[in-house]
Amino acid sequence: MYTTPADWKWKTIIEPHRIKTVEPLGFTSRKEREEVLSKAFYNVFNIPADKVLLDFLTDSGTGAMSAEQWSAIMRGDESYAGAKSFYNFEAAVRELTGYDEIIPVHQGRAAERILFSFIGGPGKAIVSNSHFDTTRANVEANGAEAIDLPVKGALEFDKPAPFKGNMNITALKETIKERGPENIPLCVMTITNNSLGGQPVSMENLREVHKICAAHGIPVFLDMARFAENAWFIKQREKEYAGTPVKDIAHEMFKYAEGCMMSSKKDALVNIGGFLALKDQKWAARARQILILGEGFPTYGGLAGRDLEALAVGLREVLDENYLAYRVRSIEYFGEGLRRHGVPIIEPPGGHAVYVDVKRFLPNLPSEKFPAQSLVCELYLEGGMRTVEIGTLMFGRRDDNGDFLPAPMELVRIAVPRRVYTQSHIDLAIEIFGEIAKRRNKIRGLKIVDAPPVLAHFTAKLKPE
């Protein structure tokens, strides 16, 4: 674990670790990148990783593990059933969440698939501060409706506010009244709110949402992929928690829910893994039956024993406040650099990524030309930098009449892997953006050549207009 002297006085917040193992980056020429992008059909998910210099596609599973985690991997018990590694993992999750029913899965979307397969269905609605792409897809795959209820002002990207990830309390009450609590089997609170800029949720909001839902018999679940970053923001921005240890803040967050799902590839600091944790024994029994069909026996759930060991260590390491101070400050630094080049971002920067507001950056490109994906491609061409679109390619759709419905936002997410890049890497990324900002009006749009009906952004094929 990290330790920093209590009398640390310097303005510079350094990486609270030193580098022990390195791997080479993918340097390429402009001509080579042009060929790579064309072969990838202008979808950066199709680009080989060794052709990427700075990989900000996602912070999911891309972090660097610690010496303690690698040591734990060597202790992995690979027994098929009842492995010691499972019980170490189970104890770590129980210690953090306070929930008794702990179900490992290979990653977060597996937990979503399992949960929504037995609580969803036609006529049902899942309410959330904001569903992310796989969450929404798993809700809808079972015939239910995913309803986002973001707080007022969440889409005013240029206006800072401390907790723009909150749920709109008034809208929640109205939705429960309109749909009927019997038709809302679950309320999902995503912490931090990934789709809307990695913005945090306040403890006050969590408490109020739980109170309202409990009064109507609606369970609350946390999508807790970035729970530690959310807890850090609560400590920094909610006055009553200024002196509270982040670990205690996290414990309180879980009190305002009946369960949680986690992609452990984020704040558990591992490269694979996830879990479903809950209080309800009946739900847990149903979940484990589905788990056996698609993931594996309940004490491994699609993971090796070594993965479970590393995950258990990561859940404890991530709550170190020196790590969290460095993590959040590095994202702030990134945002400051983009502002200097006139690049509009969601304000304030979140905990895991900087989000560029492409509608303001490329106002001349309509949604039908996929402006956010166009910027993603331009960033790769300019400097071998891979990012991800959160806009019409990801969330656009057609209505029952076949009419095109663009997404309400056009964002490019620059997700920073944990414990991987140094300040000089971030400085280069800022420099790349600066060059593009000088010629933003020359960026061309894209059109779709081929795309599947669900989660199209992963495999869609595009070409320039």
Which residues are part of the catalytic machinery? 80, 132-133, 223, 225, 266, 457
Token pair for 378: 């331009």
Cα 262 from Cα 277, distance rounded (Å): 8
Whether the CB-CB separation of 445 and 369 falls below 8 Å is answered with yes
User: What whole-number distance in Å separates Cα of residue 336 and Cα of residue 385?
Assistant: 18
3-state SS, one letter per residue, for 76-106: CCCCCCCCHHHHHHHHHHHHHHCCCEEEEEC
Cis, bond preceding 97 (omega within 30 deg of 0)? no
| Bond from prior residue into 5 cis (ω within 30 degrees of 0) | no
DSSP 441: G
| Amino acid (1-letter code) at residue 3 | T
Q: Using CB atoms within 10 A of its CB, is residue 382 exposed (0-12), middle (13-18) or buried (19+)?
A: middle
Indicate the SS3 state at residue 288. Answer: helix
CB 245 within 8 A of CB 213: no
Answer for the pair 287, 103: CB distance below 8 angstroms, yes or no: yes
Please give the backbone phi and psi of residue 141, each rounded to the nearest 5 degrees, phi first. -65, -25
Q: What is the CA radius of gyration of the chain?
A: 22
d(CA 372, CA 356): 9
